[in-house]
Amino acid sequence: MEQAARFGRKALLGGDWRPWLARWLRRDDLAPAAPATIVAAASDPSAAADLNATAWFATPVYLIASLTSLHLDPRSILQLSPDERAVLAEDFNRTFADSHFRLHCVESGALVMRARGAVNAVTTEPARALACELEAALPGGPDSAALKRLGAELEMWLHAHPVNEVRAGRGELPVSTLWLWGGGAVAASTAVTREDAASSDLLFGSEPYLTGLLRLQSAAPRALPDRLPDLRDHPGIQRMALVAEITPLLHTNPQWTVFEALADLDRRFLVPALAELRRGTTATVVFIANDIQLRLQRGDLLKFWRRRRQSVLDELRSM
């Protein structure tokens, strides 16, 4: 990452990586859509026909209480089992049957909250709430009161939920609430057939937006490998993208810090990619973290005179 920060051509995306990925896949029509709506449309195409529907990600989180406030830490974004997600969805829909909200499991492993009716609110991805006051990350906008009210009800519902009792028995963090984010109107999305999808692209990862985006392409991502794949093992492939998340690494390796998780991803993926760039077997490497894009092409790593920039890790700390 230090080499990418020093030699790469830096750009700010003006948003997160998701619209960039949609455009990279030549789906400019989907780039402006809220990420949860992509996942909702991909998991249930009939939902896109309801022009009054709204959908958000409902991410399980653990809220940490201090003397004066609540906050999130890097392990606050929880990884639930399929059975736990199914139990929560079924129980929510039974408990809140009289409300306008319904909770759904999608195949990518996410929970999606849908509402009958348009709800105009601005939300924050929980990973971004790690670096700000929790109060500042709460929903805003004209209809934010409805989401804040639902959030309070979710906390009360989950306080002594059987799922949390089982998790506590296993020594796992409880689910404090379902963090609603990434939502908007579930607009109709144009899917393409497998024959129309780009056959020269290879994508890896299990992130829900990636999975939903590819499902609208009549395709599917591959599991994230242990190390950067060798394109020579995939004849005909011209481009490759990997979406790697830190949260699963932190839960798998409880002793790691965020920067140790970043170092692991660096060793497994970015270092081999830059080695391919040096050998001339790869034309371009693009590294995106948060809103920062670093693009490197052949010859960039030979610019030894380039002044050392601020560490990309320092930039990530400041996000």
The closest of 285, 277, 287 to 315, measured between CA atoms, is 287
CA pseudo-torsion sign 16, 21, 26, 30: negative
* Joined tokens for residue 124: 């924050």
CA distances from 230 to 28, 227, 240 (A): 28, 9, 10
Q: Are 201 and 238 in contact (CB under 8 A)?
A: yes
pLDDT value at position 135? 84
Across the chain, which has 319 residues, the per-10-residue mean pLDDT values are 86 90 92 92 67 87 81 91 96 95 90 89 90 83 92 95 96 96 76 58 93 88 92 86 93 92 95 92 91 88 57 52
pLDDT at site 319: 46
CA 30 – CA 57 distance, rounded (Å): 17
Residue 8: its H or E element: none
- Sign of the dihedral defined by the CA atoms of residues 153, 154, 155, 158, in that order: positive
| Distance of alpha carbon 105 from alpha carbon 91, whole angstroms | 12
